[in-house]
Amino acid sequence: MPSFDIVSKVDTQTLDNAVNTVKKEITNRFDFKDSHVNMELNKKDLALNVEVESDMKLTQVIDVLISRTMRQGLDANIYDLSKEPYQSGKVVKKEIPVRNGIKQEDAKKIVKLIKDSGIKVQAAIMDDIVRVTGKKIDDLQEVIQKTKEANLGIPLQYVNMKS
C-alpha cells in the first residue's frame, strides 16, 4: 500500500551555514558599524541567541536571518519568534528556538485536516512524524497539496514515499 511520512526536520549544517552568512553580512553592513551584535547557535538545544544594542537593530537582524535562511533552502517557519526580547544592561537579548520535529498538538491538527478533507487515506501519528497511507498515489499527492495549502505555521517535509 502506498505511503509517505510528514516530518519537520531541520538540517543543522544548513542552519549553521545560514547563521554564519548572517554574521558576515551584519559585520559588513554600514548601519551596524561599531555596534554590538552577537549571534550564537546552540546546536545541542537548537536555539539561536541574539544580542544587539536596540529593538530596531534586533528587527533588522531577524529580517536578515529570515532572508538568508530562505536563500539556504530552509523554511522561514523554523524560527519560533513568539518569545519577547528582554533588556540586559545596555543590550537587548532574544532567544529564538528552532522548531525541529512535529509536536503532538500540531500532529493532531495535521491528522484532523487530512480526515476533514474527505480523501480516502489513513493518517497515523508516530512519535514526531505523521504517516499517511492510501490505496492510490494520487490520493497521497492530494494530501500533500492540502497540507501545503493549509499553512499550519510549521515547516513540513514529505519523505519516505513508497508505492
Residues 144 and 122 in one domain: yes
What domain range is 33 assigned to? 12-97
Average pLDDT over every residue of 88-116: 90
How many structural domains comprise the chain? 2
pLDDT digits (tens, 9 = 90+) for 57-74: 999 999 999 999 999 888
| 76: nearest Cα among 55, 47, 98, 106 | 98
pLDDT of 160: 87
Q: What is the CATH number of the domain that holds 148?
A: 3.30.70.860
- Give this prediction's pTM: 0.80
User: Residue 98 CB: number of other CB atoms within 10 A?
Assistant: 19
Residues 81 and 124 in one domain: no
